[in-house]
Amino acid sequence: MFPWFAMGHITPFLHLSNKLAEKGHKVTFLIPSNTQNKFNHLNHHPHLIQFIPLAVPQVDGLPLGAETMSDIPVHQAPVLAVAFDLTKDQVKIALENLKPNLIFFDFAYWLPPLAESLGVKCIFFSVCSAVSTSYILVPARKLYKGQHFSEHDLIEPPKGYPSGSSMKHLLFEAKDGVYFSSEFNGGISFFHRLTTSMTESQALCYRACTEMEGPFIDYFEKQYNKEILLTGPILPKPSHTPLEERWAKWLDGFKQESVVYCAFGSECVMEKDQFQELVLGLEQTGLPFLVRLKPPFGCETLEEALPEGFEERVKGRGVVHGDWIQQQQILSHASVGCFVSHCGFGSMWESLVSSCQIVLVPQAGDQHANAKFMTKELKVAMDVERREEDGWFTKESVCKAVKLVMDEGSEVGEQVRANHLKWKDFLLTEDLETSYINNFMIKLHDILK
């Protein structure tokens, strides 16, 4: 396993490793050396899953000790990518020693030729949905072909995309979508990496179910002319680690399903004014809330970012926290009734299998397509009204969306709750996962034949 150095990538690769290990396979996981500690608890089969530490090279502009995207602001991603690419020699040595049957990877666009020279097959494992990758990475193949690619390629869905106008992007969403197509400092863009990795791998692998994303998977398979293997939902087992006492105690103090939990993943850093609208919107709901967000741009600490008088006003019912929090345990706490999310792919699955009402405020890239899929296609979530040109949202629109799903007797709230429950029950159906994983294993064996 060789994922991009980001929590949202390492986590699903490790979930997949656990599933492979459950079937008795040996997995070696290449991971930045100090980051390994953050993942030991998610390694459910340490006798079969071995971490190999990679030293992240020091490069200009990368803060000392930074190893993953959660250690740096998102605009420094290209610098981390330089360090990531410089691990190539370490990866090569590891592969020569290990001689694995297969490599699962995503951002290392240079891996397919290296693997081929060592006689190893490589599979691109997507940490994004089929819905979003087909919306973005079908048109983004222009980059692989050396053609110009811009936001105009993302406003309308690509030709043949299986869903019509409901997935159409607003201008700000399309702009966000192409952010990662920029060639920073003359380096290869993120989309160019992905389209190259996908085009040059043996097969593509998605954490997806045909029942949910079938038409999008078929579409992508045809467009890339690559076999797509599905792992199914690969839901992590409920963690044995209890929720940290301070959060458990705090949450225990509120009524069942009354607390709003708001978190935008491991990478997002917001603009200060939007951060303030968000927390003020939560304050306005009158509900208890727990926010997990990094300090916004231009602020060293959360305290200096909070609106004036905010802490005093929400004392006892509202907390804003800047450090890592056990999201899965929080979402399964009985007092938590609503999840305000950015709809990163990991959070999307976690919200689907939770009992929370879902409110979406996508922030970047694939999150816009994920959010539309959840609100317009599956109809399991509520979106927050935004301004078309720049995506600006107000505290009133945050408050309105939360209240629509949380207010007793709200018709919309009942509709999304019912649809959500249907999908949750489906995803948790006994044997669904086993049957997907068994099929997945058969296909992996076929690839090796």
Ligand X SMILES: O=c1ccn([C@@H]2O[C@H](COP(=O)(O)OP(=O)(O)O[C@H]3OC[C@@H](O)[C@H](O)[C@H]3O)[C@@H](O)[C@H]2O)c(=O)[nH]1
Active site positions, annotated: 9, 106
Determine contact, residues 407/413, Cβ cutoff 8 Å.
yes
Task: Provide, rounded to whole angstroms, the least separation between the CB of residue 368 and ligand X.
Answer: 9
Pick 353 or 399: Cβ nearer ligand X: 353
Pick 100 or 296: Cβ nearer ligand X: 296
Pick 8 or 318: Cβ nearer ligand X: 8
CA quadruple 382, 388, 389, 395: dihedral positive or negative? negative
Give the C-alpha separation, 88 to 93, whole Å. Answer: 9
Task: Provide, rounded to whole angstroms, the least separation between the CB of residue 21 and ligand X.
Answer: 19
Give the C-alpha separation, 108 to 110, whole Å. Answer: 5
| Residue appearing with tokens 């997935």 | 167
Give the C-alpha separation, 385 to 392, whole Å. Answer: 9
Pick 133 or 357: Cβ nearer ligand X: 133
Distance in Å from the first CA to the final CA of the chain: 20
How many Cβ atoms from other residues are within 10 Å of residue 101's Cβ?
13
Pick 95 or 129: Cβ nearer ligand X: 129
Give the C-alpha separation, 307 to 305, whole Å. Answer: 7
Task: Provide, rounded to whole angstroms, the least separation between the CB of residue 323 and ligand X.
Answer: 7
Pick 189 or 403: Cβ nearer ligand X: 189
Binding site for ligand X (CB under 6 A): 6-9, 11, 127-128, 263, 265-268, 292, 324-328, 344-347, 350, 365-367
Task: Provide, rounded to whole angstroms, the least separation between the CB of residue 227 and ligand X.
Answer: 23
- For the CA atoms of the chain, what is the radius of gyration? 21
Task: Provide, rounded to whole angstroms, the least separation between the CB of residue 98 and ligand X.
Answer: 26
Give the C-alpha separation, 42 to 44, whole Å. Answer: 6
Query: Residue 424: enclosing H or E segment and its boundaries?
Result: helix 411-427
Determine contact, residues 7/70, Cβ cutoff 8 Å.
yes
Of the candidates 66, 15, 51, 108, the residue with the CA atom closest to the CA atom of residue 267: 66
H helix and E strand count, the chain = 19, 12
Task: Provide, rounded to whole angstroms, the least separation between the CB of residue 371 and ligand X.
Answer: 10
| Amino acid type, 251 | L
Determine contact, residues 43/51, Cβ cutoff 8 Å.
yes
